[in-house]
């Protein structure tokens, strides 16, 4: 590995940068060292070194469960015609 260094310019939210700087500083690191640690770990793992998912949060899960209950509730009126639905909404 070379002792040369390369510059990396990235754009991030200023508040995120400030919060991350505070965390890294508490660990005795600067932003450059922390990013280098992340990149080294990514190379070692051959991917993002933590789980990345589209898993819904608790509020979304609750809304999905409510939608499922409504969809299977025979007392809830369903619509196949938008005009009929709008008529009922506006009445």
Phi (first) and psi of residue 8, to 5 degrees: -130, 115
The confidence band for 1, taking pLDDT boundaries of 50, 70 and 90, is low
Class assignment of domain 1-91?
mainly alpha
What's the confidence (pLDDT) of residue 78? 87
The confidence band for 33, taking pLDDT boundaries of 50, 70 and 90, is very high
What's the confidence (pLDDT) of residue 53? 78
What's the confidence (pLDDT) of residue 2? 59
Distance CA 56, CA 64 (A): 10
State the average pLDDT for the chain: 92
Given a cut of 70, is residue 13 above it in pLDDT?
yes
Torsion of CA 62, 55, 15, 6, to 10 degrees: 180
């Amino acid at each position: 590995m070379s002792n040369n260094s390369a510059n990396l310019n990235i754009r991030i939210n200023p508040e995120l940068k400030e919060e991350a700087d505070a965390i890294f500083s508490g660990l005795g690191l600067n932003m450059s060292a922390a990013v280098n640690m992340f990149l080294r770990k990514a190379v070692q793992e051959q991917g993002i070194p933590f789980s990345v998912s589209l898993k819904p949060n608790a509020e979304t899960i609750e809304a999905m469960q409510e939608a499922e209950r409504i969809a299977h509730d025979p007392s809830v009126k369903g619509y196949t015609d938008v005009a009929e639905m709008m008529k009922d909404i506006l009445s």
